[in-house]
């Protein structure tokens, strides 16, 4: 960073003085601003569309997004040359790495990385992202996503941390710490943005940006706690969601934005809308008769920065000048935006991209990406065929459309996804490792022959090499199939009614499995699909989701036993799309004919009651056993945490990592509550034969519920604590305890 010598030595106004506190600089600057300059600070435009860069001086633009390369330097230079020299803040969707830079480090998607259950690893990944993003002149990422992924039809499940609000809060907090660092003033920190606020994953039918019939109690119970946590921990910004809740667009929801986030939680940052939310209230949701009306509703509700609604500028000016909007509301929004710019040091630096390439994709950064892929890989079945026995396996057949597709590994919000219109398929290819390349590397030197036949496509039903693959399978000692979904079937605008394998993938699987050879299936997919045939007929199953640059390398190493899988699912797989939703924290009381003796353990008459694979499920080459669950106290006083321990033993012959999960059930309560809820977890590394007593602590407030009066409180009574290897009842030890009145 090069300090501006003029600002450092000849400071003439308080806001230009870096020695003064942020609030003093903000208050000084805003008194010098015209109404036009204030509202301009609330404007964010995409730099790559409709001549928006030409509007910088005319509309006093405060922020741009969708901008890369040398455009930033030119725009920032122009911004500093304006009357007050207010710098721009540049935002980008660095969702799982600096993916829109060719040499940037790409990590597994949020859903994939969440399967590591490792907050420290998530922090490291976000720290790498922050360093690379800031080095290229960008200050702000629209990440992390705190949406709860519960309907697999929704196109954006891959962007979430899964189905559980507790682990979402844990991992989102860790990611924000990595982005923002110890201080935003650091040269390698960026502003985080928690999104989408709120309940975005609860829209009807998994339809993106649609209506959600979500009650305030459900919001307070399920969707808001992760956001509340990160706001109180200092997250720099929130993003308003697209959809409407009970008829009110989130962008117009004053209870959600102004009352809850700003007044109750004390949000010290600012709120930005999602893409043209203000315009959508008029043109898509039909909740405002004019764009002027939607502008007014957005300001009154508490939005501070307006993403890509250019006409907001003129209507906001008109509303203030005619006395329909108090200018103090504008001032509050602008102060929040300016404070972020001061905290980021944007007024006091001049930066260029000259050194960016030295920071992008360094060896150290790529090693973190590799580790993220390694810890995120989930194995859910192994009937003893893996690791590969090289004495028995001399010929391997690899099939499937995702076996040699780097885009399938990278997932959404990267090159060739629709954002930024980047479709150059050479990006990230030079240092990405597909499964085909990973297996080629592992087979080399072992004397193993590897044959690859794509066999099918995820979209094009005309691609059909099943007969060729079936013939090759008869000659192989091991068959590996890598199937799933693709870019055409994930992301915004791409919700699905059918969760089965697409194209001829199912036909391909059946053809090669019929050869009767040991059969491994790798699911490389953006979301859980309905694949009961795979669970039944595969000898081994890996779930990789979108595993990042080195996903292929990691999977290949796991197949040969050089890596012991340790990931566990953070989202449940349905048997059938009609089983949705199938999350673990279900409720009791469903009238069905196949009920068992446990409340809530019932289902449809034509489907199993349990998911295909459950939240928390995963295994490695080292099996673990649980024993001696102990609670330190079985009667808790008000405010007292629940503490205890459980013994975990590695009963295998190799070292492994177990993820110990602790759940709680409020057995009887004044409102219905789930049959179990995750409250804490521990990652534990154990050597063969080693037993460790793993301690845990559940805060008293974590036992609370939101009652019928929308008050969060802990009710006295009997509870059940469960500890084990997954959310399935069969994997959990249980002890009861009482909270005294």
| CATH number assigned to the domain comprising residue 284 | 3.20.20.300
Q: How far apart are CA 454 and CA 221, in angstroms?
A: 46
Nearest to 35 by CA among 10, 67, 5, 59: 59
Do you find a cis peptide bond into 581, omega within 30 degrees of 0? Answer: yes
Name the helix (H) or strand (E) containing 630: strand 624-631
Instruction: Clarify whether residues 52 and 159 are in a common domain.
Output: yes
317 lies in some domain: yes
| CATH number assigned to the domain comprising residue 686 | 2.60.40.10
User: What is the percentage of the chain residues whose pLDDT exceeds 70?
Assistant: 94
The average pLDDT across 605-625 equals 94
pLDDT score of 5 more than 70: no
Instruction: Clarify whether residues 341 and 378 are in a common domain.
Output: no
- What would the two tokens of residue 697 be? 């602590």
Do you find a cis peptide bond into 144, omega within 30 degrees of 0? Answer: yes
- What would the two tokens of residue 50 be? 């409709």
pLDDT band at 588 (very low <50, low <70, confident <90, very high): confident
Is pLDDT larger for residue 590 or for residue 65?
65
Q: Which tens digits make up the pLDDT trace of 27-44?
A: 999 999 999 999 999 999
Q: How far apart are CA 86 and CA 79, in angstroms?
A: 6
Instruction: Clarify whether residues 292 and 419 are in a common domain.
Output: no
CB under 8 Å to 314, separation ≥6 — which residues? Answer: none
687 lies in some domain: yes
Mean pLDDT of the chain: 93
pLDDT band at 490 (very low <50, low <70, confident <90, very high): confident
Q: Which tens digits make up the pLDDT trace of 315-333?
A: 999 999 999 999 999 999 9
Q: How far apart are CA 134 and CA 533, in angstroms?
A: 46
pLDDT band at 3 (very low <50, low <70, confident <90, very high): very low
Helix 363-376 / helix 119-135 crossing angle, nearest 10 deg: 150
33 lies in some domain: yes
What's the structural domain count of the chain? 3
Q: For residue 496, which phi and psi values (nearest 5 degrees)?
A: -125, 140
Count CB-CB contacts under 10 A for residue 240.
32
Instruction: Clarify whether residues 427 and 344 are in a common domain.
Output: no
Identify the bridge partners of residue 65 per DSSP, sorted by sequence position: 46, 91
270 lies in some domain: yes
Instruction: Clarify whether residues 347 and 377 are in a common domain.
Output: no
CA atoms within a 13 Å half-sphere pointing along the CA-CB vector of 172 = 36
Out of 559, 575, 591, a domain closes at: 575
588 lies in some domain: no
The average pLDDT across 57-66 equals 96
Nearest to 526 by CA among 111, 11, 107, 22: 111
185 lies in some domain: yes
Nearest to 466 by CA among 500, 503, 501, 507: 507
> What pLDDT, on the 0 to 100 scale, is given for residue 425?
57
Contact 621, 658 (CB under 8 A): no
Q: Which tens digits make up the pLDDT trace of 229-261?
A: 999 999 999 999 999 999 999 999 999 999 999
The average pLDDT across 635-661 equals 97
- Indicate if the alpha-carbon torsion angle 178, 184, 190, 195 is positive or negative: positive
Out of 544, 575, 606, a domain closes at: 575
Instruction: Clarify whether residues 316 and 385 are in a common domain.
Output: no
Out of 575, 607, 636, a domain closes at: 575
Contact 413, 96 (CB under 8 A): yes
pLDDT band at 422 (very low <50, low <70, confident <90, very high): low
364 lies in some domain: no
Q: Which tens digits make up the pLDDT trace of 166-190?
A: 999 999 999 999 999 999 999 999 9
| CATH number assigned to the domain comprising residue 524 | 3.40.50.1700
pLDDT score of 488 more than 90: no
Instruction: Clarify whether residues 351 and 379 are in a common domain.
Output: no
> What pLDDT, on the 0 to 100 scale, is given for residue 613?
98
> What pLDDT, on the 0 to 100 scale, is given for residue 420?
52
Identify the bridge partners of residue 732 per DSSP, sorted by sequence position: 724
Nearest to 335 by CA among 262, 407, 411: 262
> What pLDDT, on the 0 to 100 scale, is given for residue 322?
98
Name the helix (H) or strand (E) containing 524: strand 519-524
pLDDT band at 351 (very low <50, low <70, confident <90, very high): low
Instruction: Clarify whether residues 333 and 421 are in a common domain.
Output: no
Name the helix (H) or strand (E) containing 216: helix 216-218
DSSP state of 730: G
321 lies in some domain: yes
The C-alpha torsion from 395 through 401 and 402 to 408, rounded to 10°, is: 160
Q: How far apart are CA 668 and CA 672, in angstroms?
A: 8
Q: Locate all alpha helices (DSSP H) within 233-309, ordered by sequence.
A: 254, 277-283, 291-301
Give the residue numbers spanning the domain of 334: 2-356
Do you find a cis peptide bond into 733, omega within 30 degrees of 0? Answer: no
Instruction: Clarify whether residues 59 and 158 are in a common domain.
Output: yes
Instruction: Clarify whether residues 316 and 420 are in a common domain.
Output: no
Instruction: Clarify whether residues 348 and 392 are in a common domain.
Output: no
> What pLDDT, on the 0 to 100 scale, is given for residue 384?
96
Instruction: Clarify whether residues 10 and 71 are in a common domain.
Output: yes
How many residues comprise the chain?
741
- Indicate if the alpha-carbon torsion angle 546, 550, 552, 555 is positive or negative: negative
pLDDT band at 300 (very low <50, low <70, confident <90, very high): very high
**299-330: burial string, b at 16+ Cβ within 10 Å, e else:** bbbbbbbbbbbbebbebbbebbeeeebeeebb
pTM over 0.85: yes
> What pLDDT, on the 0 to 100 scale, is given for residue 171?
98
- What would the two tokens of residue 602 be? 């019932």
């Amino acid at each position: 960073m090069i300090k501006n010598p003029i600002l450092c030595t000849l400071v003439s106004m308080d806001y230009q003085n870096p020695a003064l506190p942020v609030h003093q600089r903000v208050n000084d600057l805003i008194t010098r601003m015209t109404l036009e300059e204030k509202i301009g600070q609330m404007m964010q435009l995409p730099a790559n569309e409709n001549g928006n860069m030409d509007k910088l001086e005319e509309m006093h633009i405060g922020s741009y997004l969708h901008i890369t390369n040398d455009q930033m330097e030119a725009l920032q230079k122009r911004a500093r040359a304006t009357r007050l020299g207010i710098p721009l803040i540049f935002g980008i969707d660095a969702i799982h790495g600096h993916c829109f830079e060719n040499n940037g480090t790409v990590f597994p998607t949020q859903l994939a990385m969440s399967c590591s259950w490792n907050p420290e690893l998530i922090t490291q990944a976000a720290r790498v992202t922050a360093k690379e993003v800031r080095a290229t002149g960008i200050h702000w990422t629209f990440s992390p996503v705190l949406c709860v992924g519960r309907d697999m039809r929704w196109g954006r499940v891959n962007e979430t941390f899964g189905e559980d609000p507790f682990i979402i809060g844990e991992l989102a907090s860790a990611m924000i710490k990595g982005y923002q660092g110890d201080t935003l003033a650091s040269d390698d920190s960026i502003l985080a943005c928690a999104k989408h606020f709120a309940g975005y994953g609860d829209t009807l039918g998994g339809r993106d940006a649609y209506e959600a019939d979500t009650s305030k109690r459900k919001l307070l119970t399920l969707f808001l706690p992760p956001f509340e946590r990160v706001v109180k921990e200092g997250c720099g910004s929130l993003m308003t969601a697209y959809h409407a809740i009970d008829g009110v667009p989130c962008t117009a929801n004053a209870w959600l934005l102004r009352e809850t986030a700003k007044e109750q939680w004390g949000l010290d940052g600012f709120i930005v809308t999602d893409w043209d939310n203000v315009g959508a209230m008029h043109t898509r949701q039909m909740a405002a008769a004019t764009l002027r009306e939607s502008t007014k509703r957005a300001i009154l509700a508490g939005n501070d920065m307006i993403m890509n609604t250019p006409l907001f500028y003129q209507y906001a000016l008109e509303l203030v000048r005619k006395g329909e909007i108090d200018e103090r509301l504008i001032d509050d929004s602008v102060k929040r935006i300016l404070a972020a710019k001061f905290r980021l040091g944007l007024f006091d630096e001049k930066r260029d991209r000259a050194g960016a390439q030295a920071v992008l994709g360094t060896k150290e950064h790529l090693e973190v990406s590799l580790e993220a892929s390694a810890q995120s890989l989930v194995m859910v079945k192994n009937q003893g065929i893996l690791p590969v026995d090289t004495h028995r396996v001399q010929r391997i057949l690899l099939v499937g459309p995702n076996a040699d597709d780097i885009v399938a590994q990278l997932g959404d919000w990267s090159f060739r996804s629709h954002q930024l219109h980047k479709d150059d398929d050479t990006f990230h290819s030079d240092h990405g490792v597909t499964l085909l390349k990973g297996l080629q590397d592992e087979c080399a030197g072992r004397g193993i022959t590897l044959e690859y036949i794509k066999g099918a496509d995820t979209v094009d039903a005309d691609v059909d090499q099943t007969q060729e693959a079936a013939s090759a399978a008869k000659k192989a000692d091991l068959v590996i199939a890598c199937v799933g979904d693709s870019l055409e079937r994930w992301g915004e605008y791409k919700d699905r009614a059918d969760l089965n394998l697409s194209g001829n993938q199912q036909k391909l699987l059946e053809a090669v499995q019929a050869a009767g050879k040991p059969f491994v299936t790798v699911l490389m997919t953006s979301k859980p699909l309905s694949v009961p045939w795979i669970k039944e007929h595969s000898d081994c199953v890996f779930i990789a989701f979108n595993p990042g640059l080195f996903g292929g390398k990691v999977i290949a190493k796991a197949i040969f036993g050089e890596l012991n899988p340790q990931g566990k699912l953070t989202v449940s797989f349905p048997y059938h799309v009609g089983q949705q939703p199938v999350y673990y924290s279900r409720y009791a009381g469903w009238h069905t004919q196949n009920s068992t003796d446990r409340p809530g353990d019932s289902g449809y008459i034509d489907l199993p009651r349990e998911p295909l694979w459950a939240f928390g499920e995963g295994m490695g080459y080292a099996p673990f056993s649980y024993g001696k669950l102990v609670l330190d106290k079985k009667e808790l006083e008000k405010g007292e945490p629940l503490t205890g321990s459980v013994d975990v033993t590695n009963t295998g012959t190799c070292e492994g990592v177990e993820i110990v999960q602790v759940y709680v059930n409020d057995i009887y309560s004044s409102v219905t509550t789930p049959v179990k809820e995750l409250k804490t977890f521990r990652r534990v590394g154990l050597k063969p034969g080693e037993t460790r007593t793993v301690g845990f602590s559940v805060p008293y407030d974590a036992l609370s519920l939101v009652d019928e009066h929308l008050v969060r409180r802990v009710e006295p009574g009997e509870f059940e604590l469960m500890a084990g290897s997954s959310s399935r009842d069969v994997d959990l030890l249980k002890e009861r305890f009482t909270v005294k009145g």
